[in-house]
Structure 1
């Protein structure tokens, strides 16, 4: 079977799927604009990269349409590569695209007889979602209208699909109910054989951690230090905990930036602000930056408590991976988290904004290792339902339907 996959980033959510399909004997082609910094080399499949001929003309265009024009330009660039494939007699049986940037907008026009599968992460809403969560102010009329227009490229591409996949029920709930019967939930899947054995690997070599039987380790992972992932609250919580627990070391993975939302209004990076403002102990606060997967997994393996916050938005892979590793977790009581963790059974869930509650919850688990272990086991058991094998089985069933 010939399978065409498109995402603006290579390999993104298809990292393991494309290797699985190529190893299963399928002829796989991936079209992307750019590689992720940790992307694997293609093996058994081809990757084509495109460039957009220009960017959206924000001067002469209505501001609500900037994103839509960018999507059209993205779609045209992908179409040109798809047309080259078609002209060389490479015709896919199945076309899979990530919705939201426009890269898949015109693939059905190039390959009208291919079955179309879409993978979506988000549908924008003005209420009870990420947009109205961080501020007590009512979302402005202008912003609400702009968000509605942002969904236009998603809806346009949905009209070309045979199937639409989302990774969580929470993300499905963001789409209008009229489409729910057309949307299937297939989680991205976890490498359980690897993750479930990390804490038993005994290969950790963090020389910044003291060889002390009283050592306590709190971990916090976020690709970018930003409001969407609760960094302002988290770092305040960390500062307060360091004053209460002299043996506590904190490992922070990530870097300054804004993957979602906006940076600080004064332009000061969040880590710089934190170091200058919060009197963090530099000997017990370990900023690792972005790290390769093996280092990231080592971080989780030494964690006594893993700390995760998110607004009602797309759930980070790191939370599910920390569950599979067997971490004791304190996390925000927001809908994407509550789909997978239950307060008092598999984790302690706390108000996203309440630093005092976060400090108390982490204190509780650090002080009661038996309770922490019970929560960790329950979270690990929950993660067993999210294996990559189950995800590939669901995808393969869809491909062969």
Structure 2
């Protein structure tokens, strides 16, 4: 079978699936902005496409997002046309539509089947909008209007999309029912053979010092430190956490940028804004026990979750972070927000502890309780790992299901593009 994979930051969510397709004998070609020259990666032929224009001037700000997607779709259409003229005729196209790239691919290959990675449909009602009153969104009360337009890309893709795949039920259920019928829930998968507990794990700190499983390490991890992932809630709880736990070492991993939601005031970062808010409440000796690692290589991330005595994960009702499932796979004892995506993987008192996203006092109490009770931590950590092994294991569960899904997509009658 000939398969085309589209992802602006390839491999992205196709990190395991694309090589597995190539390994079983399929001819797999990827189009991406990630490379400048053609290359081969794990049996996948990776080809670049180039943008031919930039955004226009004086556009309505709500149109800038769609124009960016349209520019990528136009460029990808041109590259796909060249690929077709070279003789490549994919049976299946696998695409993450979030950047618009796959918008016109059915116009190039109308007989191909298009399988979409359905990450999120931008719902305009509570709790997707208005969940955190402190950060009402880019447009305040007009945020639902902006999101309706932002979904134009999703809607256009489903006119030609033959099937969808979504990593969690929460994400799939954000899509309207008319689309949801075509979406299969299969997680990207966690390599539980690689992400394992390690009693001998060590984390070297910059400036000296080493943390091990013998230390009281509290971890907080996200791609970027921002309100969507509860950074403000955790930071505001930090003075009391440090006061209650005089031996705790608090280690935070994440960048200074914004992945989701509103940006901070110009020239500032959410990270520094909330450091400045709480720093005067924390004595210097306690602040020395707080460590910001920024973004780190994957092996260093693994060392961090393996030495974690308690891992705190907070999120709005939004896409669930891989880092939570990886922390669970490493046997960490989890304290997480009681929000819908989290409840899909954590049952309170069984595979972790849940707490109200906004209740800082409850967060401190539950964290204090977790750090105090070694037997509870051991039980929750073991159950968390077992849950991930049983339901999210990459090699035994998720990857075979993804391959089966691709084969099912190939058998569908293709949807033709509409005029």
Specify the alignment match of 1:194 in structure 2: 194
Contact 1:82 1:110 in 2 (8 A): yes
Following superposition, the deviation at residue 145 of structure 1 comes to 1.8
Matched ranges for 1:150-299 at <5 A = 150-196=150-196, 198-200=197-199, 202-206=200-204, 208-209=208-209, 215-265=215-265, 267-279=267-279, 280=282, 281-299=286-304
Displacement of 1:239: 2.8
Q: Residue 278 of structure 1 aligns to a residue in which SS? A: helix
1: CA distance, partners of 2:16 / 2:133: 37
Q: Distance in 1 between matches of 2:142 and 2:338?
A: 30
- In the aligned structure 2, how far is the partner of 1:128 from the partner of 1:95? 34
Question: How many angstroms apart in 2 are the aligned matches of 1:129 and 1:106?
Answer: 33
Structure 1 residue 67: deviation in Å?
2.3
Looking at structure 2, the residues matched to 339 and 283 of structure 1 have their Cα atoms a distance apart, in angstroms, of 36
The yes-or-no answer on 1:118 pairing with 2:123 is no
Q: Equivalences for 1:2-401 in 2 at 5 Å?
A: 2-34=2-34, 42-59=41-58, 61-135=59-133, 142-196=142-196, 198-200=197-199, 202-206=200-204, 208-209=208-209, 215-265=215-265, 267-279=267-279, 280=282, 281-384=286-389, 385-389=391-395, 390-401=397-408
Spell out, residue by residue over 1:331-379, the C-alpha distance to the aligned partner (whole angstroms, 9 max, x if none): 0001000111011222111111111111111101100010111111221
Change (3 A) 1:353 1:400: same
Q: Secondary structure at the match of 1:199?
A: coil
State the aligned residue count: 394
Provide the rounded CA distance (Å) in 2 between the counterparts of 1:266 and 1:90.
47
- Structure 2 length-normalised TM: 0.88
Partner secondary structure for residue 41 of structure 2 = coil
Does the 8 Å CA contact 1:58/1:66 hold for their aligned counterparts?
no
Deviations 1:81-134 (A, max 9, x none): 111211111221210111222111011111111121000111011112432212
- Pick which of 356-365 and 25-34 moved more: 25-34
| Shift in CA distance, 30/210, structure 1 to aligned 2, threshold 3 Å | closer
Task: Output the CA distance in 1 between the equivalents of 2:156 and 2:190.
Answer: 31
The Cα RMSD (Å) is: 2.2
1:209–1:304 distance in 2 versus 1, CA, 3 Å: farther
Q: CA deviation at 1:166?
A: 0.9
By relative contact order (CA 8 Å, sep 6+), the higher-ranking structure is 2
Deviation at 1:282? 3.9
Given that residues 4 and 96 in structure 1 are in contact (C-alpha distance below 8 angstroms), is that contact kept between their aligned partners in structure 2? yes
Deviation at 1:241, TM superposition (A): 1.0
Q: Distance in 2 between matches of 1:41 and 1:321?
A: 28
Gaps of 5+ in 2: 409-419
Alpha carbons of structure 1 residues 129 and 10: separation in structure 2 relative to 1, 3 Å? farther
| Residues 144-182 of structure 1: CA deviation (Å, up to 9, x unaligned) | 222111111111111111111111100111111232221
The answer to whether the Cα contact below 8 Å between 2:72 and 2:100 also exists between their aligned partners in 1 is yes
**1:244-292 residue CA offsets vs partner (Å, 9 max, x unmatched):** 2111001111111101112323642233234444235342112111111
Q: Which runs of 4+ in 1 moved over 4 A?
A: 136-141, 207-214
Is the Cα contact below 8 Å between 1:98 and 1:120 reproduced in 2? yes
Change (3 A) 1:243 1:372: same
C-alpha separation in 2, matches of 1:399 and 1:276: 49
Query: Secondary structure of 1:30's partner?
Result: strand
Tell whether the 8 Å contact from 2:131 to 2:316 is kept in structure 1 after alignment.
yes
In structure 1, distance between residues paired with 2:310 and 2:209: 15
